[in-house]
Amino acid sequence: MGRTYNIAVVPGDGTGPEVVTEGLKALDSASNKFGFKLDLHRLDIGGDRYLKTGEVLPKGAVDELRQYDAIYLGAIGHPDVKPGILEKGILLKLRFELDQYINLRPVKLYPGVECPLKDKQPEDIDFVVIRENTEGLYAGAGGFLKKETPDEVAIQESINTRKGVDRCLHYAFDYTKKRNRKKNLTLCGKTNVLTFAFDLWERAFREMSLKYPEIKADYAHVDAITMWFVKNPEWFDVIVTDNMFGDIITDLGAMIQGGMGIAAGGNINPEGVSMFEPIGGSAPKYKGQNLINPLAAICAAGMMLDHLGEETAGRKIEQAVMDVTKNRIKSLAAGAMGCSTTEVGDMVAELVAK
């Protein structure tokens, strides 16, 4: 028997529990095949709990979560809770408190998946966005003056610390090297307008690039990047950017890889506990109907194994997902897959076991 990993499972809201169930099937299958053990601990965190108890994040939850080897998250977001409360109080709070300073978002077009870009094939869309995940506009710096008067002022500041930028860039350069594909790292910024924040980013980037002579380090403005994602996605290998730009361009990335049904991400603290999630949200209108696509959650499970050091098992899950997109489902869209949520999960689990 190999290693045992302690995993916190947070199914969360809406269709979160359904997709997590399918992800756990894939994990179970992988652990049997590859000889490691997963010790799963379910935590009741999310909108339902908040509505029942008035508590967004249960007391002690952060410290409890710190004890695990990884966190597997379904979705946070509830139609009866005002937007922002759960997102800020749970998802962002965990990212910040657990210092998950990297948001890792692979953008990969799997075979058989319909791409909205004309004439683009799987070989054209295969890059990774590394988003700084604890600073920038998300840091919450700013405030109001004269709130709710005609003279109201709202200020929201982007926080960019040299240490925060350097640790993110360091991860990005190392990741590009390890990925060993085009060995190209692109800094995505806005140096022509945000002349303080991205001046720091660009200087730090140039300086660090000297330590990685094997990596081709280049720069692109964020607005241009959105054009090129659509026109020439094949240009990209790894992209590193700040929190806000990363948030925006990764949704565009999800769309060119076929949509939210397949997009997964990791919130990573390389020195601590990391959290893996499908990025599509809780999709409450599909709750309980066995129609939602679980592949994004399954991909997140694969990323988690890869992060834990079970790379072969992680790759096997990804290959099983690719088999399913190529040969077994009609579409990624909820209700249009040609089979149910549980059937997709069963197929993946079976393919992983083979």
What is the contact surface with ligand IPM in residues (CB under 6 A)? 87, 91-92, 247, 279
d(CA 116, CA 255): 8
Residue 62 vs 252, nearer CB to ligand IPM: 252
Helical axes 222-231 vs 243-256, angle rounded to 10°:
10
CA distances from 70 to 16, 73, 208, 296 (A): 17, 10, 29, 17
**Nearest Cα to 144, choosing from 136, 157, 153?**
153
User: Which residue stretch of 179-187, 243-251, 268-276, 319-327 sits at the interface with Mn ion (rule: CB under 5 A)?
Assistant: 243-251
Query: Minimum distance between the CB of residue 264 and ligand IPM, rounded to whole angstroms?
Result: 11
Q: Which is nearer to Mn ion, 247 or 350 (CB)?
A: 247
Interface with Mn ion, residue 87, by CB under 5 A: no
Q: Which residue is closest to ligand IPM by CB?
A: 87
Q: Which is nearer to ligand IPM, 280 or 314 (CB)?
A: 280
Scored b (16 or more CB within 10 A) or e, 299-338 reads bbbbbbbbbbebeebbebbbebbbbbbeebbebbbbeebe
Name the residue type at position 171: Y
Give the shortest CB-142-to-ligand IPM separation in angstroms. Answer: 16
Least distance in angstroms from the C-beta of 243 to Mn ion: 10
Q: Which of the listed partners (ligand IPM, Mn ion, none) does 350 bind, with a CB threshold of 5 to 8 Å by partner kind?
A: none
At 50, list the tokens. Answer: 């908040």
Q: Vertex 300, ends 263 and 234: CA angle to 5°?
A: 45
Closest contact distance (angstroms) between CB of 247 and Mn ion is: 4
In the numeric block, the tokens 């001046």 are attached to: 199
Q: Is 116 helix (H, G, I), strand (E, B) or coil?
A: coil
Site pattern 246..265 for Mn ion (x: CB under 5 A)? -x------------------
d(CA 152, CA 146): 5
92 binds, among Mn ion, ligand IPM, none (CB under 5 to 8 A by kind): ligand IPM
Choose among ligand IPM, Mn ion, none what residue 87 binds, the Cβ cut-off being 5 to 8 Å by kind. Answer: ligand IPM
Q: Which does 28 bind (CB under 5 to 8 A by kind): Mn ion, ligand IPM, none?
A: none
Kindly state the smallest distance separating residue 279's Cβ from ligand IPM, in Å.
Answer: 6
Q: Which residues bind Mn ion (CB under 5 A)?
A: 247
